[in-house]
């Protein structure tokens, strides 16, 4: 754990947002070694205070000066803000772990899930990208299976909770549920259609090829993180009326046969994975099971009836943790453990 290292000066960019608050929670839970803590947020939060380890900190507006003396910035403030402010933080000597999509496909920026490609952090130049939440939980499962049988093709359908769209989306689902229960109308403000009691096969913008940006992110990010640029990946992304946790139906075709029994054994021993797979006892993961927890849960592992070398499975994880806050903190821990941050040394 990073607690064996010297405490660092840490800032959270977007500290008052949903992911920012989850970052604080994860840092506290994992006893991440922090010396100076600096919460940063937009001007509309300038009078707010943030609680960290039992102490209140005033929120500061981000600027180049605000990054002075900071070792690590955990950024969760959106792509446009990250594109503008991350280079300023690096200029001040900080290392930025960015949760937006601003730098993910930049060839000079490592896109990292530590359990999968932690070694990529050794080549960082100040900015590290955190992947899409759907991608993060997917590659944690794909990596050990690829090591065992070689990936040939991946087809994934995601069932993504509203928390992936932010606090306003979570509030919209709650208010819409209440309005419908009261026999009232609540017009969508965040989503393109009513989300309460509905599914929306539309996350992010549509591209000319008919796929959404979210679906292409899963494809491209999986290829980059796995180090398999030619891996065949196809995704359909769907928003569902669930507050927290993303679920995925995953079909994997391998270079050689892999039985469900072998896959269960491999995944049970894999980092960050937990297998819940006993259909006879109705044992399989659900979004409620995963919410607030760290593992990526896998169930319903079965033979793909359309391919002799294929398996189908069901994958569930808390998107605010493994897909955002927890992965970012794990990156920071890895960097401390491997002395990859300037000015940090073994205690």
Positions marked active-site: 133, 246
Q: Which structure tokens are listed for 232?
A: 């065949």
d(CA 99, CA 112): 11
For the four alpha carbons of 329, 334, 335 and 337, in that order, the dihedral sign comes to positive
Measured in Å, how far apart are the chain's first and last C-alpha atoms?
12
d(CA 220, CA 212): 13
d(CA 343, CA 86): 19
Helix then strand count (H, E) for the chain reads 9, 13
DSSP string, 256-278: S---HHHHHHHHHTSTTEEE--B
Specify whether the CB–CB gap between 320 and 104 falls below 8 A. no
Q: Which structure tokens are listed for 215?
A: 């679906």
d(CA 104, CA 1): 26
3-state secondary structure of 296: strand
d(CA 334, CA 319): 20
**Residues whose CB falls within 8 Å of the CB of residue 296, separated by 6 or more in sequence, listed in order:** 137, 140, 141, 272, 273, 274, 315, 316, 317, 322
201 vs 187, 215, 216, CA distance in Å? Answer: 18, 10, 14
Given the structure tokens 């209440």, which residue do they identify?
178
Going by C-alpha positions, the residue among 143, 159, 141 that lies closest to residue 313 is 141
3-state secondary structure of 237: strand
Specify whether the CB–CB gap between 163 and 291 falls below 8 A. no
């Amino acid at each position: 754990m990073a607690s064996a290292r010297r405490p660092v000066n840490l800032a959270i960019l977007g500290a008052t947002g949903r992911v920012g608050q989850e970052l604080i929670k994860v840092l506290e839970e994992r006893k991440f070694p922090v010396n100076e803590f600096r919460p940063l947020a937009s001007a509309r939060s300038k009078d707010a205070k943030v609680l960290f380890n039992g102490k209140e900190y005033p929120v500061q507006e981000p600027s180049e000066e605000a990054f002075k003396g900071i070792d690590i910035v955990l950024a969760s403030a959106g792509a446009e803000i990250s594109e503008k402010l991350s280079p300023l933080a690096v200029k001040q000597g900080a290392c930025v772990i960015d949760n937006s999509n601003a730098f993910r496909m930049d060839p000079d920026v490592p896109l990292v899930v530590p359990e999968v490609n932690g070694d990529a952090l050794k080549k960082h130049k100040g900015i590290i990208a955190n992947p899409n939440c759907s991608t993060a939980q997917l590659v944690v499962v794909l990596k050990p299976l690829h090591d065992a049988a070689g990936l040939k093709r991946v087809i994934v359908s995601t069932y993504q909770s509203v928390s992936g769209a932010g606090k306003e989306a979570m509030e919209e689902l709650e208010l819409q549920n209440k309005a419908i229960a009261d026999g009232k109308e609540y017009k969508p403000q965040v989503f393109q259609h009513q989300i309460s009691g509905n599914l929306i096969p539309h996350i992010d913008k549509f591209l000319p090829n008919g796929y959404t940006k979210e679906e292409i992110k899963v494809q491209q990010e999986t290829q980059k993180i796995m180090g398999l640029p030619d891996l065949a990946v196809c995704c359909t992304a769907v928003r569902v009326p669930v507050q927290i946790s993303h679920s995925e139906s995953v079909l994997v075709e391998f270079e050689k046969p892999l039985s469900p029994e072998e896959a269960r054994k491999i995944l049970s021993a894999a980092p960050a994975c937990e297998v819940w797979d006993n259909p006879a006892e109705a044992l399989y993961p659900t979004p409620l099971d995963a919410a607030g927890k760290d593992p990526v849960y896998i169930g319903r592992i079965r033979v793909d009836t359309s391919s002799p070398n294929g398996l189908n499975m069901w994958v569930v994880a808390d998107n605010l943790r493994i897909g955002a806050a927890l992965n970012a903190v794990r990156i920071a821990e890895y960097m401390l453990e491997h002395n990859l941050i300037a000015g940090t040394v073994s205690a």
